[in-house]
Amino acid sequence: MFTLTPLEIEALHLSLLVSGWAVAASLPLGILCAWVLARLTFPGKTLLDGIIHLPLVLPPVVVGYILLVMLGRRGPVGSLLFDWFGVTLAFTWKGAAIASAVISFPLMVRAIRLSLEGVDRGLEQAARTLGCGPVRTFFTVTLPLVTPGLLTGLILGFARSLSEFGATITFVSNIPGETRTLPIALYALTQVPGGDEAAIRLCVISVMVAFAALLASEILARRVQARMKG
Amino acid sequence: MLELSVKRRQGDFLLDLDLTAGPGVTALFGASGSGKTSAINLVAGLALPDSGRIKIDGRVLYESASGIDVAPEKRRIGYVFQEHRLFPHLSVRSNLTFGWNRVPKAERSVAFDAVVEVLGIAPLLDRRPAGLSGGEKQRVAIGRALLASPRILLMDEPLASLDAGRKAELLPFIADLARRFTIPILYVSHAMDEVLRLADTLVLMANGRAVASGPTEEILSRADLRHLTGHGEAGAVIRATVSHHIDEFGVTALGFSGGTLLTGRVELPPGASVRVRIHARDVALATDAPGRLSVRNVLAGRVLSVTATADHQVDVMLDCGGAVIWSRITALAQSQLCLEPGMNAFALLKAVTVTGGDIAGRP
């Protein structure tokens, strides 16, 4: 029987916590960005599109370093956060969640945007003639119709967060119990002699978690599809 | 009562429309691209005029001069689109109550159960739109629009995407609506059979303008509008009443102001009111009462007008006891018979030329 060691449980728990918060916290902003990109035309749209997609093409270490400079205790944003709210992000699991969120953000926005662009605007017009204002129309018609895209975006973001390494280790380092997620724990084990067996066990756990996430998204997406087909 | 007076430029197309739509069904009839759909989108607020005014029951929905532009959701307009546009993520019941729930209880003018019953959609309530046939979807869409208690119901060729069978199935429902729920209907169509069946008032549209409007029979019988009301199918439209059926020969006798008209069998009970279209090409003329003849309808009348058309043809309008019958003959026949306004003549019409599609039951 496969029983987890305390160290593995700690890493798995941290990974799920960090990734869960990363996608949950960035989802509203992701929907907003996707909507802006899919529906509005304004000067500077290409620039915004580029900025949102930047983390996808930058080396994660660069993203992590920028976060450290900006959000570190002495960084321009980090110092304000500390002075005003007493919040420290660098070298904490919250910082890890932010690093994961930034890295996975473009994937999430892309999926939601594609889905939004596929929504029949005629249905939104119909909702308007039936007495729904633009905001209510968005929540009662548009959002339900992009559910498959939302699910895809969430799972993609979650999976990318689980595998986040470069930005995380640069921004929040490798602190047991605080920022040592699965990939970081795995990396640490490969750096010590005789860590092979433990490393392989972490590999298996990572594969299983990722696979479970994909499976869950597939099942959910099918259910949504089935509902729409009556 | 809808009063519309708007201008809107779309590329090099100019919509310049003045029209009113009162109780009953008002049909906007015209070729594709004549601006029919644009017109009702302006009423619904889904598109904006450049200038003008839109009023319903005295309430201003849009007025360029005073800057009034009521949002679509506040206009209380029911819109039935060409493609049903049902919400795929909701059940039929939830689709139906979508607009209904947004209307304050005191302002609901139609009852849920009544709409469900009239449209025959009770068995569909718990299904989803994807599982319905085209006709069923369109019926649900009509119900959804009605339940929003609109001041006017806009219908944009609601039957255009359906096959002939489904269309025949849905026409009676629509014909019933205006009467049952006393909601004015503005009905966009380019199918003459629908207009004949449904419209009390007809507005002819061409190139973004309302060319003519008035009672359907009158507009369809006007020779000067023939180029808009259809070439091959041009002809007079008269009101008649089913008198009796002659079952052994499969024909029906209709009574109208000019006498009796024998037609192909009509599936309506005696006493039913109908509108009959008599194609001008099917009507022959005689200056003397003919003798033994296979033609069953010989209607005595007086020539009202003689108008030459292109292709050496002539349109002759005949007054038969108050009903106007329209005949298309060659210029040769006209000159040899010396047909002139004021002359007495007989219109000859074979019973077999007036069939189901030309006869529509009317309230």
CB contact under 8 A, B98 and A130: yes
Query: Is there a contact between B278 and B325 (Cβ–Cβ < 8 Å)?
Result: yes
Dist. CA A55–CA B122, nearest whole Å: 53
What residues of chain A lie within 8 A of the CB of B103, using their CB? 131
| d(CA B211, nearest CA chain A) in Å | 28
Residue A59 above 60 pLDDT? Answer: yes
Write out residues 99-118 of A within 8 Å (CB-CB) of B.
none
Query: Is there a contact between B262 and B253 (Cβ–Cβ < 8 Å)?
Result: yes
Residue of B37, B43, B80, B87 to mutate for A, most A C-beta atoms under 10 A: B87
| d(CA A147, nearest CA chain B) in Å | 10
In a domain, A1, yes or no: no
H-only helix segments in chain B: 36-44, 92-100, 112-119, 134-147, 164-181, 192-198, 216-220, 226-229, 331-337
Mean pLDDT of A137-147: 93
In a domain, A209, yes or no: yes
In a domain, A90, yes or no: yes
In a domain, A152, yes or no: yes
Write down all domains in chain B, each with its CATH number in brackets. 2-220 (3.40.50.300), 235-362 (2.40.50.100)
Q: Which residue of B has its CA nearest to A134?
A: B73
CB contact under 8 A, A122 and B46: no
> Which regions of B198-265 does DSSP assign to beta strands (E)?
201-206, 209-215, 235-246, 251-256, 259-264
A95-113: per-residue pLDDT in tens? Answer: 999 999 999 999 999 999 9
| d(CA A153, nearest CA chain B) in Å | 20
What residues of chain A lie within 8 A of the CB of B131, using their CB? 229-230
Q: Output the six-digit token pair for B360.
A: 């529509």
ipTM of the prediction greater than 0.85, yes or no: no
A44 touches chain B (CB under 8 A): no
Q: Which residue of A has its CA nearest to B144?
A: A130
Q: What local confidence, expressed as pLDDT, does residue B233 receive? A: 64
A139 touches chain B (CB under 8 A): no
A145 touches chain B (CB under 8 A): yes
A vs B: CB pairs below 8 A: 73
A128 touches chain B (CB under 8 A): yes
A150-203: per-residue pLDDT in tens? Answer: 988 998 899 999 989 999 999 998 888 888 999 999 998 888 888 888 889 999
Residues of B with CB under 8 A from a CB of A: 44-46, 71-79, 81, 83, 85, 87-89, 98-99, 102-103, 127-132, 144-145, 148
What residues of chain A lie within 8 A of the CB of B102, using their CB? 130-132
What residues of chain A lie within 8 A of the CB of B45, using their CB? 128-129
What is the count of structural domains for chain A?
1
Neighbours of A122 (CB within 10 A): 14
3-state secondary structure chain A: CCCCCHHHHHHHHHHHHHHHHHHHHHHHHHHHHHHHHHHCCCCCHHHHHHHHHHHHHCCHHHHHHHHHHHHCCCCHHHHHHHHHHCCCCCCCHHHHHHHHHHHHHHHHHHHHHHHHHCCCHHHHHHHHHCCCCHHHHHHHHHHHHCHHHHHHHHHHHHHHHHCCCHHHHHHHCCCCCCCCCHHHHHHHHHCCCCCHHHHHHHHHHHHHHHHHHHHHHHHHHHHHHHHHCC
Instruction: Please report, rounded to a whole number, the percentage of residues in chain A having pLDDT higher than 90.
Output: 60
A200 touches chain B (CB under 8 A): no
CB contact under 8 A, A131 and B46: no
CB contact under 8 A, A131 and B85: no
Domain that holds residue A20: 6-228
Q: Which residue of A has its CA nearest to B103?
A: A131
Burial pattern B21-51, b for ≥16 Cβ within 10 A else e, equals: beebbbbbbbeeebbbbbbbbbbbbbbebee
What residues of chain B lie within 8 A of the CB of A122, using their CB? 81, 83, 85
Mean pLDDT of A206-221: 87
CB contact under 8 A, B81 and A126: yes
Dist. CA B17–CA B7, nearest whole Å: 6
CB contact under 8 A, A128 and B83: no
List all residues 6 or more positions away from B301 whose beta carbon is below 8 Å from its beta carbon: B258, B318, B319, B320, B321, B325, B344, B345, B346, B347
Query: Is there a contact between A189 and A19 (Cβ–Cβ < 8 Å)?
Result: no
- Using CB atoms, which residue from A122, A140, A141 is nearest to B81? A122
Q: What local confidence, expressed as pLDDT, does residue B74 receive? A: 92
In a domain, A174, yes or no: yes
| d(CA A142, nearest CA chain B) in Å | 10
A132 touches chain B (CB under 8 A): yes
Going from the first residue of chain B to its last (363 residues), give the mean pLDDT of each consecutive group of 10, the final group possibly shorter: 90 89 90 88 93 92 92 93 93 94 89 89 92 91 93 92 81 80 90 84 90 86 74 75 90 90 88 87 89 88 86 88 88 89 92 80 70
CB contact under 8 A, A129 and B44: yes
Dist. CA A88–CA B161, nearest whole Å: 62
Q: What local confidence, expressed as pLDDT, does residue B238 receive? A: 87
Q: What local confidence, expressed as pLDDT, does residue B230 receive? A: 65
Q: Output the six-digit token pair for A82.
A: 């500390």
In a domain, A182, yes or no: yes
In a domain, A24, yes or no: yes
pLDDT confidence bin for A26, thresholds 50/70/90: very high
Residue A220 above 60 pLDDT? Answer: yes
CB contact under 8 A, B145 and A147: no
CATH number at residue A124: 1.10.3720.10
CB contact under 8 A, B98 and A145: no
Residue of A121, A123, A124, A130 to mutate for B, most B C-beta atoms under 10 A: A130
